[in-house]
């Protein structure tokens, strides 16, 4: 067999040498091209199966990771990609007005988080104040301080039978014609779980400057109160907060609180009520430092 050299040589090259060179080039390049194609294909497949290309998914995934890595490292074993997939599977490609509790059951089963006893804070028509309070009193948990509440807070999402996308625009509002939206059912389901797992003394922040402090039409009044477990929860404390410089429409003495008390007592749970719970009052005072009810002896 002839001895071939690979060093570049000017002049004529035998044809068989050229074809061997071509073969070698192909032999090297083809696998590389093939590998590249496979890699790109895998990436694209992973991207679509991760579902993180849309806004809602990116936010949910980012929040889940921040929550389990930075804020609550005791939950670092939670698989955020799986949580995202289980979350979106509940509503993608489905009728956006006909979502069921069972659709979210896999998500509820997947994420188990125990809120310590005596640290559960419900709220009704007082979301902002409740969150400001729990943001400072970090051992207290509102629903939105738990993993499931945290990833979904303030977001809007829905599916559509015609697509497998996660949508955040043109989602139907909840009304008589569309009673079970993806978001409304989500909050019902996680609120129920949140109430069921509460224990010890639980708290609720109510709004005494709104229509009524307690309303059976609210999530608290229709879902949470009725899912408190008497074996686990022995006391409910209500804080009826009034806007500083605002109207006092309702209070611990009002009839809606009497109604709440009777519902709670009937479930064998003790009930206490306090108007303008002081630590929460301080939170309100930050915005009205000059108001008489906020004057602090320095």
Partner 1 sequence: MAAQGCAPRRLLQLLQLLLLLGAGAAGAQWRGEGTSRNLESIFLGRCAEYSSLLLSPAEREKNCTAIWEAFKVVLDKDPCSVLPSDYDLFINLSRHALPRDKSLFWENNHLLVTSFAENGHRLMPLCDVLYGRVGDFLSWCRQKNGSGLDYESCPSSEDCENNPVDSYWKRASIQYSMDSSGVIYVMLNGSEPKGAYPVKGFFADFEIPYLQKDKITRIEIWVMHEIQGPKVESCGEGTVKILEERLEAMGFQYSCVNDYLPVKLLMCVDHSTHPDCALNSAAASTQRDGSSLYTDRGATLTMALLMALASGAQMQLEPPLS
Q: Which is nearer to partner 1, 19 or 295 (CB)?
A: 295
Q: Is 289 one of the binding residues for partner 1 (CB under 8 A)?
A: yes
Interface region with partner 1, contact rule CB under 8 A, candidates 13-21, 158-166, 206-214, 253-261: 253-261
Binding-site member from 13, 69, 82, 229 for partner 1 (CB under 8 A):
69
Quick note: the x/- pattern for partner 1 over 262-281, rule CB under 8 A, is: --------xxxxxxxxxxx-
Q: Is 169 one of the binding residues for partner 1 (CB under 8 A)?
A: no
Q: How far apart are CA 84 and CA 80, in angstroms?
A: 6
Do 151 and 71 contact (CB within 8 A), yes or no? no
Do 68 and 76 contact (CB within 8 A), yes or no? yes
Q: Which is nearer to partner 1, 203 or 220 (CB)?
A: 203
Q: For the CB of residue 14, give the shortest distance to partner 1 in the complex, in Å.
A: 42
Active-site positions? Answer: 117, 199
Q: How far apart are CA 132 and CA 109, in angstroms?
A: 29
Quick note: the x/- pattern for partner 1 over 70-109, rule CB under 8 A, is: x---------x-----------------------------
**DSSP assignment string, 54-113:** SHHHHHHHHHHHHIIIII-GGGTTS-HHHHHHHHHHTTTTS-TTB--HHHHHHHHHH---
Q: Can you read off the two tokens belonging to residue 243? A: 């806007």
Q: By CB under 8 A, name the binding residues for partner 1.
A: 52, 55, 58-63, 65-66, 69-70, 80, 132-133, 135-137, 154, 237, 251-253, 257, 261, 270-280, 282-283, 285-287, 289, 292-298
């Amino acid at each position: 067999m002839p001895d071939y050299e690979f060093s570049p040589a000017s002049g004529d090259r035998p044809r068989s040498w050229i074809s061997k060179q071509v073969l070698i080039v192909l032999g090297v390049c083809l696998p590389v091209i093939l590998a590249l194609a496979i890699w790109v294909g895998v990436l694209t497949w992973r991207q679509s199966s991760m579902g993180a290309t849309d806004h809602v998914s990116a936010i949910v995934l980012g929040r889940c990771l921040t929550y389990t890595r930075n804020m609550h490292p005791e939950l670092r074993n939670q698989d955020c990609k799986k949580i995202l997939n289980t979350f979106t599977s509940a509503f993608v490609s489905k009728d956006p007005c006909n979502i069921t509790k069972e659709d979210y059951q896999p998500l509820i089963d997947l994420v188990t988080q125990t809120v310590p006893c005596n640290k559960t804070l419900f709220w009704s028509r007082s979301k902002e104040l409740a969150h400001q309070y729990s943001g400072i009193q970090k051992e207290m948990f509102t629903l939105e301080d738990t993993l499931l509440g945290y990833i979904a807070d303030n977001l809007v999402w829905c599916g559509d039978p015609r697509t497998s996308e996660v949508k955040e625009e043109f989602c139907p509002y909840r009304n008589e014609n569309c009673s079970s939206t993806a978001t409304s059912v989500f909050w019902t389901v996680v609120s129920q779980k949140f109430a069921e797992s509460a224990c010890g003394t639980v708290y609720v922040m109510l709004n005494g400057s709104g229509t009524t402090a307690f309303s059976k039409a609210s999530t608290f009044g229709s879902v949470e109160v009725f899912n408190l477990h008497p074996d686990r929860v022995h006391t409910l404390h209500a804080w009826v907060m009034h806007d500083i410089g605002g109207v006092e429409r309702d209070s611990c003495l009002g009839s809606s609180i009497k109604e709440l008390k009777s519902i709670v007592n009937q479930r064998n749970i003790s009930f206490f009520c306090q108007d303008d719970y002081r630590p929460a009052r301080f939170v309100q005072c930050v915005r009205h430092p000059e108001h008489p009810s906020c004057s602090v002896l320095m």
